[in-house]
Structures are given as C-alpha cells and as structure tokens.
Amino acid sequence: MKSARRRPAGTPSRDRSRQLRTARGAGARRGLLAIASALAAALVLGGCSFPLPLPTPSATHGTVEPSIAAGAPEGLEDFYSQQVDWTSCESGFQCGNVRVPLDYADPASGHIALAAIKLPSRGTKQGSLLVNPGGPGGSGFDFVKDAGRTHFTDKLRSAFDLVGFDPRGVKRSAPVTCQSDAERDASRQKVYQFDTDAGIEAALADNKAIFDQCVEKTGPILAHIDTVSAAKDLDILRAVMNDAKLNYLGYSYGTFLGSTYASLFPNNVGRLVLDGAVDPSISNEDLTSGQAKAFEKAIHSYVAECLSQKSCPLQGTVEQGVQEIRDLITSVNETPRTANDGRLVTGPAFVNGFITPLYDDASWPALTQALDAALGGDVSPMLRIADLAADREPNGSYSSNSTFAFNAINCLDYPMVSDTAGMRAEAARLMVDSPTLGYFFAYGGINCKGWPYKNTRTPGPVEYKGEAPIVVIGTTGDPATPLEWAESLRQQLGNASLLTWKGEGHTAYGRSNSCVSNAVDGYLVDGKLPQDGLSC
C-alpha cells in the first residue's frame, strides 16, 4: 500500500536510490509482475509463444442507468451520469476517459480525466471488477493491459469485465510531473549524510528544487491527489460502469484505497478483496517500523533458502550469511561502485535492487545471481534490478511517474515526523528493527518537509458499517505489508473475513496456490464468503 521506503534519501522515489519504498507504497502489483518476468528472463531464455489475436470489441457508448445515476451525491450528478465513450485499443481491450472533479470541495471548479481500460468478460457477465495494483502511484491501466489475460483465473474473467484505471496523479490521469529523465538519473546517484546537519540541509535544498518543479509542471491537481479523493473517484467509476455496487480487488496500497472507499460509501460496497493489507490506523512511523521488521524477517528467510542451494554465494549459518549481506551493503554505501554503463551505484541504489526480489520468492534466484556478481565486484546486475523497480528503461527513459506520484500522495495522506531530533530518534529505533536495512528506512520525513501542501488526513481506525462482508488477505512472509496489518484491518472492518496465505513475498492472489484462488473466486463470482481465519 502504501508502496517500502526509507533510505538515505531525500527525494521522492519509488525505487528510492534516495528513498526506499515505504509501507504505503509496497510496490505496485503490475510493476512487481513486470519485474518478476524480467528477472525470470534474466535467468533463462525459454521458448517463445505468441497467442492468437482475439476479436477486437467494437466501440461502445456507456450510458448510466437512471437508477444508478440517481444515487449521486449532491453537486456531482453530471459526473455520475456522464456517458463514457469506450473505443477499441490494445488488441482486444476497450479504453475510455472518465471525468472526475479536480476538487471535491468545489466540483464546479474544474475536472480531470481518469484513463481506464476494460478487458471484456469472456462469459456471462455479472458486472465489472475494478482493480488497483498498489503504489501509491501504480498504474491499474497497465496492470490490466499487461496482465489481465494471465494474472486472473478463467472463472473470474468469465464473470467480470476487468477494469483498470490510473488514479488521479498517476501516469495517464493528470500525472504528477517533476523532473526530466536525466535529472531523475542524477537524483538517484546522490547520497546524503543524514548524521550531519549539513547532510540534512543539503537534502532539503535539493528537495525544495524538485518540489518547485512539481508545482510548476503539474498544476493545481497536485493539491488534490489524496486517497480520500481517489476513493470518491472510485465511486464515480463504479457508477459509469453501470454497477449498483462496487466489486473491487486491491493490492497493497490498493487495500488502503479500498478500505477508505468502504468507510465513505458503505452502502455501495459489493464484493471487495483487499490483498496485502495496509493498516490505516497506524502512523507513518509505525508503518515504517513494521515494514523494517518484516523485511529483516524476509532477508533471513531468503538467506536460509539460498544456503540450501549449491549456487548460493553466502557461507556459514543463516546469521553469518545475513552478516555477509550487511557487510556488502555497508561497503557499497561507504564506497559507491561504478556499473558497467558508467553510472554510480550508491548504497541506496544497491539496497533498492536488493529488496526488490524479496517481494516475490520466484525472484530469489535472480537475487542470488546479483549478490554473487556484487560479491565479485560487479554491481551492474543489482543496478539493473533497481532500474526495473524505478521503471527505468535500458535507453535511460522512465516509463512511469510512479516515483513522483508516490511521494506526492503520501505527503497528503500522512503527517510525518520531520524535525531533526525526531528523525534521528526514529533512525535509532529502525536500526534495532532491522540491523540490515534500518539505516535506509530512516529519515523519511525529509521527503515531505517543505511539501507545498498540508497533509489532509490523520491516521485512525477505518469505520465500516456496510452489510456486505469484505475479504482481507495477508501473507505470513510478506515483507511490505506484514500479516499483522491484515489482522488489524480485518478487526477494524468488523464485517469481514481474514484469509491467510502461508508463503513468502508480497500479496497472494495470482501468485500463491489454488486454495487462495478458489477462495477468492468463490467469493467474487459466487458470493461465498471464505471462513474467517482460513489458512492456505
């Protein structure tokens, strides 16, 4: 959910060469799928297959049924009753733009367009299933476009139109825009010494320059990309899909978006699945602490598995193997290395590459290869993984704005400790939470100190009074959204069921086992609620 962060870093960054992904960010699902695919390709070149082209759906004009439009909140009637023109796109998909208010406090002040993509149902359609892959800053449009035909089961695809969308501020939907690609590269190679006042001041000065660019290039939407506004957009999306109730699958940050929706529109909740749950009741600092502990646990799990393989470059016991990794990270952080392409690999950049495969244990072999190379003096493979996490293409271009959207959304959603004494105290605690990564999780408050817009939310338990039960999923070895967060969210929602996957990596549905997929499909398609406490 909120996408894993903390670094020595000062700028907004999803790959965080100056900032690790944080609790809330936890990594967009589509991005993780793309990374997993790329890492798998790096391990072995398999045979290629090319699917037969599917029939291209014709353009349609979506007209909202009067009974659905009648439920619009006062002042938003035009948005709820709008006609969306769905046109053929992306070889078998339909694309459309949905108007939503720029500012819900003043709907008449202007609007923005949300980009949406629909993969039509393959069977008897029950309705639409809206999906969010996480972030914040992840593209639901790309998730459905790239993984809609492979990530979801045949049963689910037969019952629903799959609908992905870019939330406000993300990629195609009034995107947060700040730096050029070259400037982003330069920012990712900077390091700040936060144990000195001068280091903190240098980071704040650089951030101020970036913030000014964001304001200039993005415009007024920058003040209105908070999660509450995004949840209100979700209800307009529901209406223009002609669904009386929202059916929704949210991963990671998408669970935060989903639980926010449930609190705002309890009577409009249909079937919601929240996978890789974020706990909305805890502070930014507690989220960071929880994630630091979870990553430390995941590192130990990875090392234990690595040591069981002949190809593992680590030696000794699990603790000795973990210490080898700590020593390697410290060495790179103290003396940055140069990759084969001439770019500088700093400690934060190296750590971003290191943590990314921990999101999916299918990528652990690629991490082993990158560690083997780094221990031998070649940090280029680890930088390549960090590039994948940052959506940096081999030609130096960046394919998304997730870095900037991530930071801008979090700054509105969370108040953060940003005074020097408070951040240094937090850094000391984080080193206890994660001796391996605590240093890189610290000083996150710098990313929002001086942000031109005040945060709009105070963390607190979510309140849900709807009649429709919600499914919450947690994974025992999740490094980004610890299982405890799913357990807490289930309790806050009340009318909910908790499903636990005993596995490693971030989130469950689409990458776990048939027990999970059957339980989720049974709920979404057949309306059968999984037994609360079911463990798969």
Residues with catalytic annotation? 252, 478, 506
Identify which of 473, 483, 477, 466 has the alpha carbon closest to the alpha carbon of residue 523: 473
- Residue-by-residue DSSP string for 357-370: GGGBGGGHHHHHHH
- Beta bridge partner(s), residue 237: none
Q: Which two tokens stand for residue 536?
A: 């798969």
Q: How far apart are CA 73 and CA 101, in angstroms?
A: 12
Q: Report the C-alpha gap between 528 and 338 in whole angstroms.
A: 55
Contact (CB, 8 A) for 426 and 418: no
Q: Which residue has the tokens 């590192």?
A: 299
Q: Rounded to 5 degrees, what are φ and ψ at 323?
A: -65, -35
Beta bridge partners of 496: 470
Q: How far is CA 23 from CA 1, 27, 36, 261, 402, in A?
A: 6, 9, 20, 19, 15
Find all residues with CB under 8 Å of 205, minimum gap 6, and list them: none
How many other CB atoms are found less than 10 A from the CB of residue 227?
27
> Do 324 and 302 touch, CB atoms closer than 8 A?
no
> In angstroms, rounded to a whole number, what is the distance separating the alpha carbons of residues 141 and 130?
10
86 forms beta bridges with: 60
Which pair of tokens denotes residue 501? 């996957």
Rounded Cα distance, 387 and 392, in Å? 5
Which residues touch 12 (CB under 8 Å, ≥6 apart)?
19, 178, 210, 403, 404, 406, 407, 408, 447
d(CA 386, CA 389): 5
Paired tokens of 375: 């221990």
Q: Which residue has the tokens 């195609």?
A: 172
Which secondary-structure segment (H or E) carries 475?
A: strand 470-477
**Which residues are bridge partners to 62 per DSSP?**
84
Q: What backbone torsions phi and psi does residue 340 show, to the nearest 5 degrees?
A: -60, -25
